[in-house]
């Protein structure tokens, strides 16, 4: 039962990170005279924010189901699949941020006040460190997760591919709110206008996609391994009970 409370706490933390980032973006847009609707449309188009909102919904639904079914041995397939669908991208964004993006301009460099800089740090660390680590722990130790079939990998892939298509098309249709460019991409490695052009962007896309497939396959393999271990323990217990009788 305690896993339901942990999942609710993780959902609350994720939501607080999204809210903190929202406040930071509103503050910066206001100070810099940017169009707030454009800034917020960009904010809610970021992979981090979309994935986190999905994660909050999945974690809350999983916790609610657990509270309503305290004696059930396994989660339904829909809950386990939803958890897998959000675990893969959130772990991926944790890896990508900490490998490729950490060390960007600080809040002070962007003119943030001390309070806004603290909110920015909170949002970054919660969304890119705390939530990915929690979901990794949940994957490894949560007691009632159901083993997923291998076809689940196709479901996992649908979301990032859809987001990527949306992002690369939208990037050429919207301008940077700062006025610096007539295009806008949420992450510099996706920007085909950078030094490496489309070749560099496609290389990063391919690399991240391979990493996502590996993470998704790892999630399914771990769930299936844990299910086999549970079955073996249950079989051994049944045999021991039979011998005692």
- Give the model confidence (pLDDT) of 43-92 as tens digits: 999 999 999 999 999 999 999 999 999 888 889 999 999 999 999 999 99
DSSP 3-state assignment of 173?
A: coil
CB 76 within 8 A of CB 115: no
**Range(s) of the domain holding residue 120:** 2-244
**What is d(CA 33, CA 23) in angstroms, rounded to the nearest whole number?**
15
Tokens, residue 166: 């949306």
Tokens, residue 172: 């050429």
The dihedral region occupied by 237, where left means phi > 0, alpha psi between -120 and 50, and beta the remainder, is: alpha
Name the pLDDT band for 110 (thresholds 50, 70, 90).
Answer: low
- Taking the CA of residue 105 as centre, how many other CA atoms within 13 Å lie in the half-sphere pointing to its CB? 7
**What is d(CA 25, CA 216) in angstroms, rounded to the nearest whole number?**
31
What's the alpha-carbon Rg for the chain, to the nearest Å?
A: 21
Q: What percent of the chain has pLDDT over 90?
A: 73
Tokens, residue 48: 């981090």
Helix axes 2-32, 114-125, angle to 10 degrees: 140
CB 38 within 8 A of CB 186: no
Q: What is the mean pLDDT of the chain?
A: 90
Of 149, 132, 155, 129, give the one whose Cα is nearest residue 59: 132
Tokens, residue 143: 């007691």
Number of domains in the chain: 1
DSSP 3-state assignment of 142?
A: coil
pLDDT score for 235: 63
pTM for this prediction: 0.90
CB 4 within 8 A of CB 63: yes
pLDDT score for 102: 81
pLDDT score for 230: 77
pLDDT score for 72: 87
Instruction: Provide mean pLDDT across the span 19-48.
Output: 95
**What is d(CA 82, CA 76) in angstroms, rounded to the nearest whole number?**
10
Pick the range with the lowest mean pLDDT from 43-52, 137-146, 232-241: 232-241
pLDDT score for 111: 77
Q: Is the pLDDT of residue 11 over 90?
A: yes
Position of tokens 């490894």? 140
**What is d(CA 209, CA 70) in angstroms, rounded to the nearest whole number?**
37
pLDDT score for 151: 95
């Amino acid at each position: 039962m305690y896993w339901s409370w942990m999942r609710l706490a993780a959902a609350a933390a994720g939501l607080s990170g999204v809210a903190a980032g929202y406040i930071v973006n509103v503050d910066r847009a206001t100070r810099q005279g940017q169009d707030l609707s454009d800034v917020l449309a960009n904010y809610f188009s970021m992979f981090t924010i979309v994935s986190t909102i999905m994660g909050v919904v999945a974690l809350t639904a999983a916790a609610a189901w657990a509270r309503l079914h305290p004696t059930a041995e396994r989660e339904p397939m829909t809950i386990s699949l939803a958890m897998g669908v959000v675990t893969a991208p959130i772990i991926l964004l944790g890896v990508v941020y900490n490998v490729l993006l950490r060390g960007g301009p600080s809040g002070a460099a962007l003119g943030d006040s001390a309070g806004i800089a603290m909110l920015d740090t909170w949002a970054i660390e919660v969304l890119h460190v705390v939530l990915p680590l929690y979901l990794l722990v949940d994957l490894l130790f949560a007691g009632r997760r159901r083993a997923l079939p291998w076809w689940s990998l196709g479901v996992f892939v649908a979301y990032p591919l859809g987001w990527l298509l949306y992002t690369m098309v939208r990037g050429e249709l919207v301008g940077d709110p700062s006025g610096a460019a007539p295009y806008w991409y949420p992450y510099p490695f996706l920007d085909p206008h950078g030094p490496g052009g489309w070749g560099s962007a496609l290389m990063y896309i391919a690399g991240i996609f391979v990493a996502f497939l590996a993470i998704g396959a790892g999630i399914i393999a771990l769930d299936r391994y844990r299910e086999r271990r549970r079955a073996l323990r249950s079989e051994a217990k049944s045999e021991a009970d039979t011998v005692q009788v």
